[in-house]
Homo-oligomer: A and B are copies of this chain.
Amino acid sequence: MEVLVFGASGYSGQELVRILARHPNARIAAATSDREAGRPIDVAPELGLSHVRHDDASAMASRDHVAFLATPAETSAELAPRLLDRGARVVDLSGAFRLSDPAAYREWYGFVHPKPELLAEAHYGIPELFAMPPTTRLVANPGCYATASILAVAPLLDLTEGPVIIDGKSGTTGAGKKAEEAMLFAEVAENLRAYRVGKHQHTPEIEEALSIRAGREVKVSFTAHLVPMRRGILVTAYLRAKPNVATRDALGALERAYAGTMVRVVDRPPETQRVLNTNGTEVGAHLDARTSTLIAFGAIDNLVRGAAGQAVQNMNAMIGLPIETGLR
């Protein structure tokens, strides 16, 4: 399969190039970066490729291509329709197609969605939880926090009730490669803080995915924290357990959901370092019986399972390969 990578010089884009460069069934036809146009692609020198401009790559798209968009949501919202029109299939790593309600884009993303009719068509791609329809042309690749949260919580919803509180903690690459004072080493090291409290844009996609899985409306309170590390997300979710639920029930539900997948259920607390640089996920759960709180954990590498790796899982599903192809 020929693939196009848009936004190849950001952290997620670089990771996409790294993974696709050694994927047995993919060949990178072009990788774009307006800023780096003309310069060689450093992260995979063996390819002998240089970055091209967005427009040049979109002009070459055809039905023979899968296009990955590692671009900002507003860019993706403009780019995806054009690529689909040219017959390409699209895996979008931004939030542009993750929400089913167009109005939600104004609230959470701050823009009016230019192609609301595509929202119903886009498939929200967590392969272990949502089967992909065979005709899928457009995949909304979930957010990094959302991936860790949904994988940790979805199988536990039958054991719990009420709203879900999710405390998310992430390394800095999740914020992208933009130069800003708050992300300088000296500001981040030896520091810990919450950010975008009450308004993180991954909240509605988590709610929507969990509600679909639960078959009831699930409300989510999500809080993001910035941790002095480069990569890795750990989410700690707090759910109200139904009566008589025990830790082993929760671990059992997780085991059943993820048997035969790359998601690993562990009976110690998950750690981000165990999945660093891999597409693996660690999930776990513990009942705090004193307060009937079911505590669920999910650990991923935000750039692999939380972005590029999952995008490749979704490409694999779209073109009929086993979803782990090129990711072990």
A: residues with CB less than 8 A from B are: 11, 22, 42, 45-46, 163, 165, 167, 169, 171-173, 177-181, 183-195, 197-198, 219-221, 223, 225, 227-232, 234, 236, 238, 264, 269-274, 276-277, 286-291, 293, 295, 297, 299, 328
Contact = CB atoms under 8 A, between A and B. Distances in A.
Contact of A234 (B163, B193, B269): B193
B271 A191 contact: yes
A134 B221 CA distance: 44
Contacts of A165: 165, 238, 291, 293
Contact of A230 (B190, B271, B291): B190
Given A163-B293, A165-B165, A221-B295, A190 B236 contact: no
Nearest to A198: B288
Contacts of A270: 193-194
A291 B166 CA distance: 12
Contacts of A186: 11, 171-173, 177, 183, 230
Nearest to A184: B183
A272 B188 CA distance: 10
A169 B192 contact: yes
Contacts of A232: 190-192
29 contacts: A11-B186, A42-B274, A163-B291, A165-B165, A165-B291, A165-B293, A167-B236, A167-B238, A169-B227, A171-B192, A173-B186, A184-B184, A185-B189, A186-B230, A189-B229, A189-B230, A190-B231, A191-B272, A192-B227, A192-B232, A192-B299, A193-B234, A193-B273, A194-B236, A221-B290, A221-B293, A228-B228, A228-B229, A238-B238
B269 A197 contact: yes
The 9 A-B pairs of least Cβ separation, nearest first, read: A191-B273, A185-B188, A193-B271, A194-B269, A167-B167, A221-B291, A221-B293, A192-B234, A172-B185
Max count, chain B CB within 10 A of own CB: residue among A171, A274, A290: A290
A238 to B, nearest CB: 5
Contacts of A198: 286-290, 295
A179 B181 CA distance: 5
A179 B194 CA distance: 21
A192 B192 CA distance: 12
Given A172-B185, A189-B228, 18 more contacts: A46-B328, A163-B291, A163-B293, A167-B167, A179-B183, A179-B184, A185-B228, A189-B230, A190-B231, A190-B272, A192-B227, A192-B232, A192-B299, A193-B269, A198-B290, A221-B290, A223-B236, A228-B229
A48 to B, nearest CB: 14
